Structure 1
Amino acid sequence: MNRIKALLATCLLVAAAVLPVHAADDWQSLTTQAETLYRQGHFDQALAVTQSALKEAEKHKNNAEQISASLNGIGQIYQDQENYAEAETYLKRALAVREKALGPNHVNVAMSANNLGALYQQQGDYARAEPLFKRAIAVLEKAQGAEHPAVAQALNNLGAMYLNNKQFDQAEPLFQRALAINEKALGRDHPEVAQNLEHLGFVALNRNQAKDAVPLFERANSIRERAYGGGHPEAAIGYNNLARAYLAADRNDEAGPLAKRALEVVESTMGPSHPYVVSVLKNLAVYYQKTGKEPEFKATVERIKAMTTAPGQS
């Protein structure tokens, strides 16, 4: 759920002209359906439809881009579900297909390198992530110009890696540059802008600058709600992040309802055992502890322990 990569739509909505007309229509219809399901939070259904799109693409010759787009889509859904082994398999395949078909310095190769780097970053494997991000940035800057949103995404991913590795001085200028690019190219209310704002907010929180972080998370939360609707997992990320900022700023009465709403949305759309539930529960535990709700605090901590010691959780 840590959105440090391109949206599924970025990978799926590519030209299908190299396929026969009817096949192209079938593939595009499936990928569009998958995008809709993904945006609605129906990840299992989106995965199944994208797998069907891959099978359709593999029926025909000379359509490496459609195959790689579907592979990328499948890999990114698995990544959102934190099924990292499957995600790596598909994202590596996508990169290999594109490198063979397009050469090492093509824009789409850079995007696949970026996506694979994001997977490694999410797992804390910075040694493998960093060169992939830097490769993506260099290729994209040369091919599309320094102010392109794809460059911003790659900058954001490299910055996220530095953030997670507590290299805040390296992370902040990358996030600032990514924000400036996306605001200019996509508009101030685009979901990618929300992601940039949140990363700047996390830099502030890690520097114990909660007052600086709060307005960043407030703006990001508003963007997410407008873009996805309040019942989408992406909106839940906004609620949870803002709750964390409010807690850091001792605005506990505002934090509690947001964390509870985040939990409700994540459980209803992704299930009560999804790994992101733990992130929300941690904020709730802090809220209960800070407000003296001892029974609720203990129950929440026990649930966190149960989830983080269960098979498949960490």
Structure 2
Amino acid sequence: MTDRWEDINGRAIEHLRHERYEEALQEALVAAACAESEFGAVHPNVAVSYHNLGEIHRLLGSRGQAETSFGKSLSLYEAINGPDSGEVADGLVNLAALDLEQGRLDQAEPKLRRALAIAEKSDGPTSAA
């Protein structure tokens, strides 16, 4: 069951590595649908799929879609791993980066502060998110 999702997701990542973003997007959309179908709506592979979609949309310049995908990934990681996981911190950084790219400093700051607090809580005050 996992093999199908892993194959599709792997193809999406391979396209992404070779900067074939449109092809990566098509595979990533299929991977997300496959993950939801095979594993259910709340599963780490679904979260990974939405993260990948967010990154691809960001690279294509579709910031609104990137924000939606990163937001879904973040929500899933919070539900799966709890609010203080490393994946949540990473998701917050991704969303904050989109805010910064669009000049929304006031929206980026709380996300970055929360990501830093998560990192410090798990790794101590010398770590960075």
> How far does the alpha carbon of each residue in 1:21-48 deviate from its partner, in whole angstroms, 9 at most, with x for none?
xxxxxxxxxxxxxxxxxxxxxxxxxxxx
Choose which of 174, 182, 195 in structure 1 pairs with 2:119: 182
Structure 2 residue corresponding to 1:102, chosen from 35, 39, 42: 39
Per-residue CA shift, 1:208-247, capped at 9, x if unaligned? xxxxxxxxxxxxxxxxxxxxxxxxxxxxxxxxxxxxxxxx
Structure 2 Cα separation of the partners of residues 87 and 183 of structure 1 = 34
Determine the structure 1 residue equivalent to 2:55. Answer: 118
Structure 2: stretches of 5+ with no match in the other structure: none
Is 1:128 matched up with 2:65?
A: yes
SS in structure 2 opposite 1:104? Answer: coil
CA distance in 2, matches of 1:71, 1:124: 23
Partner of 1:142: 79
Match of 1:169 among 89, 96, 106: 106
CA deviation string 1:78-102 (max 9, x = no partner) = 3243220121122112111101012
Residues 70, 173 of structure 1: alpha-carbon distance in 2 compared, 3 angstrom cutoff? farther
Q: Counterpart of 1:160?
A: 97
Q: 4+ residue runs of structure 1 moved beyond 4 angstroms?
A: 186-189
The TM-score normalised by the length of structure 1 is 0.37
- Aligned-partner Cα distance in 2 for 1:73–1:180: 32
**Hey, what does 1:74 align to over in structure 2?**
11
Tell me the TM-score normalised to structure 2 length: 0.82
Deviations 1:89-139 (A, max 9, x none): 221121111010122222321221121012112222022122222222222
Deviation per CA, 1:156-183: give whole Å up to 9, x if none.
Answer: 2111111111111111221232233234
**Greater Rg by CA:** 1
TM-superposed CA distance for 1:148, in Å, is: 0.8
Q: Using the alignment, how far apart are the partners of 2:33 and 2:72 within structure 1?
A: 15
2:21/2:59 contact within 8 Å kept: no
Q: Distance in 1 between matches of 2:11 and 2:121?
A: 30
Percent of aligned positions with the same letter in both sequences? 34
Whose relative contact order is higher, 1 or 2, with alpha carbons under 8 Å and at least 6 apart? 2
The amino acid across from 1:89 in the alignment is Q
Q: Distance in 1 between the 2:117 and 2:14 partners? A: 28
Aligned counterpart for 1:86 among listed residues 23, 38, 53? 23
- Counterparts in 2 of 1:261-272, with a 5 A limit? none
CA–CA distance in structure 2, aligned partners of residues 66 and 151 of structure 1: 26
Q: Which moved more, 1:179-188 or 1:141-150?
A: 179-188
Rate the CA distance shift 1:124–1:67 in 2: closer, same or farther, 3 A.
same
State the number of aligned residues.
128
Question: Using the alignment, how far apart are the partners of 1:183 and 1:83 within structure 2?
Answer: 36
